[in-house]
Amino acid sequence: MKTYSETQFGLLGDEEMDTLTQPMPLHEMPVERRLPEALKVIERDYKRIHDVIQSSWGHREFGDFIRQLIMNGGDGMGQSRVGFKREVVTAMFVLSDLHDAQFA
């Protein structure tokens, strides 16, 4: 195995290491990976919302449901929230864009 001096590559600092190990942002992923990854983000913390998204995907009511969640924090069925984590809101926007592109 070659040592540092034999390869001439510089050592990575802590900041560089953190950058290299971060997951790829949803909007930078290939389109075919965005849907399953966005669903995973939502399912992790909001199983009920995930299930509604799964069942309404491809239907007109999906757009209304996801917009209501993003804009008001509630689903229009009496379930209101204080807010969502940034990564969950990002996943909702990605899902909304994907749905509009595929079904609008």
More confident position, 75 or 93: 93
**7 belongs to a structural domain:** no
**15 belongs to a structural domain:** no
How many domains does the chain divide into? 1
Q: Is 49 exposed, middle or buried (0-12, 13-18, 19+ CB in 10 A)?
A: buried
* pLDDT tens-place string over residues 16-60: 555 566 778 887 888 889 999 999 999 999 999 999 999 999 999
**80 belongs to a structural domain:** yes
**72 belongs to a structural domain:** yes
Which structural domain range is residue 48 located in?
Answer: 24-103
What is the structure's pLDDT at 26? 81
**6 belongs to a structural domain:** no
More confident position, 85 or 14: 85
Q: How confident is the model at residue 14 (pLDDT cuts 50, 70, 90)?
A: low
Contact 46, 53 (CB under 8 A): no
pTM beyond cutoff 0.75: no
